[in-house]
Structure 1
């Protein structure tokens, strides 16, 4: 069955479920770990407290949310898939389901552009975006003055959260581990796994010298992936200006918001005016596991991935738990899925 949606500008169901994540207020916490794959989300969620039982919701659009408590602190783990569009869905829709501040850490994988081995963990202080320029003539590049790729200026993550994530990773790293942790570096987020990351395929991508160009022009560049720049960008933009909220009844439409959960949903009746207030903040950071070395062409083993996901995932939970959010800047506990019974 398709639920009734309200407002084509920002679609919600009558009980305030958002369009892609399928969440409503009280089902996502102020502290969030976001990952790409559902299996990584499930692994991290295994560290959550048994009580209250973690709430799990799978949206029709492929987003998985698991919300519970970690050592008493409300935390959500959300898998979003790949790329900046999915990061956009996640940040915007989660923000509209929350009152108070947001602390978001992405735990993902990346390729490394410098001489660091696979298994290295990178906590980027800043990110640039690398975007394929659709105005470039890839069929006849000799007669085109446009660059094939556009590189943005850097956007920085939250410095306090950055330091806390780095500290937590250093403390969680196994004592017998040779994994390095790099934090004073910059990441590049590409809009493709292939063309704008300099990989050579059968398509005419004009990217033979892209990696070297990035290294030459972006100071402290170390890694390439596809999501973190957009997370940092949206966090940096948040709260700069307010948007007046209408009091008029929104138009109605139908649409595919039919999330799957075996758990009891949140029972909050939160006024929209209390959600996503512009006087709140979004703090963002990231930790990236180096799966591929672009210099040596080494690739991480499945055994290494499993081990790294375990200790890095717990470290991110520890880092988020340590971030202080004043009680008045938390989403209300009453009626939420993390409410203590």
Structure 2
């Protein structure tokens, strides 16, 4: 059955609506970053760049690194943007855009997020590299999809109980990375993490400027939570959405975090650009091993 024009919106040139991409522009290995300017920070290391486009916060470049074809795309901040980016990336490889029909043979993408994050555990130092094994989403994105098959409700139920989670907030959902990618990218340079994906940078992450927060002990509760010796390690704003949608769509996803702040100790890195660039190079070299 053909997908209606109102559901899959295409631009006049046949590209997908928000990303402004056509299928030939996309590699099957993709690096996502939040900041549009960070795309250049990744592709400065490329051998070649064959294509680039920019629309709104979505900046895309495709090229090669040590002979491997890779697409780098900025998502902007938050899981609402992840919903747009990941559905449109999937449409580019798994929907015939001319016929508006789902393809019989589906393609699985390899997607690596390279982003920044703040630790909530004292023993995870600034400037370290953390790989998100599990992620808990405090947004409601995955609840809009039939997603029970990719969730870990026993962990989210334990977290709700531990934190005395407010019923006025969306129920947390727990998802996991692609285990094959986790093993490939792990080394003595990385820390294994359980990442909390927040719906904002200030109040949702316990920052108080002029507005009081609903639960001013939430970060302490998150830091003291542990499920089967697996504590929550860090806070950011995209990983749970990435893992949830990737698992539902049949893609492999992994989130690589440059720890630039430690909320437990109050420290912030002296050179975030250096730490992020080192993580970029680490990620690129792992991709071509």
Bin of the TM-score, shorter chain as denominator length: 0.7 to 0.9
TM-score scaled to structure 1, two decimals?
0.68
1:181 corresponds to 2:150: no
In structure 2, distance between residues paired with 1:62 and 1:162:
28
In structure 2, distance between residues paired with 1:147 and 1:282:
32
Alignment of 1:232-243 (within 5 A): 232-238=243-249
The counterpart of 2:23, out of the listed 25, 32, 43, is 25
In structure 2, distance between residues paired with 1:216 and 1:305:
27
Q: Which is higher, the Rg of structure 1 or of structure 2? A: 1
Q: Deviations over 1:212-251 (max 9, x none)?
A: 222344532100000000000101212xxxxxxxxxxxxx
In structure 1, distance between residues paired with 2:166 and 2:172:
15
Aligned length: 246
Corresponding residue for 1:113?
Answer: 120
Q: Is the 8 A contact 1:103 1:320 kept in 2?
A: no
TM-score scaled to structure 2, two decimals?
0.79
Please report how far the alpha carbon of residue 192 of structure 1 lies from its aligned counterpart in structure 2 after TM superposition: 0.8
Unaligned regions of 5+ residues in structure 1, if any? 1-5, 133-144, 171-179, 239-280, 323-341
Corresponding residue for 1:85?
Answer: 80
Please report how far the alpha carbon of residue 310 of structure 1 lies from its aligned counterpart in structure 2 after TM superposition: 2.2
Higher relative contact order (CA 8 A, sep 6+): 1
1:191 corresponds to 2:204: no
The counterpart of 2:279, out of the listed 312, 327, 330, is 312
Task: Name the SS for the 1:86 alignment partner.
Answer: helix
RMSD across aligned C-alpha pairs, in angstroms? 2.0
Q: Which has the higher helix share?
A: 2
Corresponding residue for 1:330?
Answer: none
Q: Deviations over 1:140-181 (max 9, x none)?
A: xxxxx95354452421100110111224xx5xxxxxxxxx62
Task: Name the SS for the 2:288 alignment partner.
Answer: helix
Unaligned regions of 5+ residues in structure 2, if any? 95-106, 141-164
The counterpart of 2:92, out of the listed 89, 97, 104, is 97
In structure 1, distance between residues paired with 2:175 and 2:117:
18
Please report how far the alpha carbon of residue 16 of structure 1 lies from its aligned counterpart in structure 2 after TM superposition: 2.5
In structure 2, distance between residues paired with 1:222 and 1:165:
18
Task: Name the SS for the 1:154 alignment partner.
Answer: strand
Q: Deviations over 1:70-119 (max 9, x none)?
A: 22211001112111111111111111112522000100011110012211
Q: Is the 8 A contact 1:40 1:309 kept in 2?
A: no
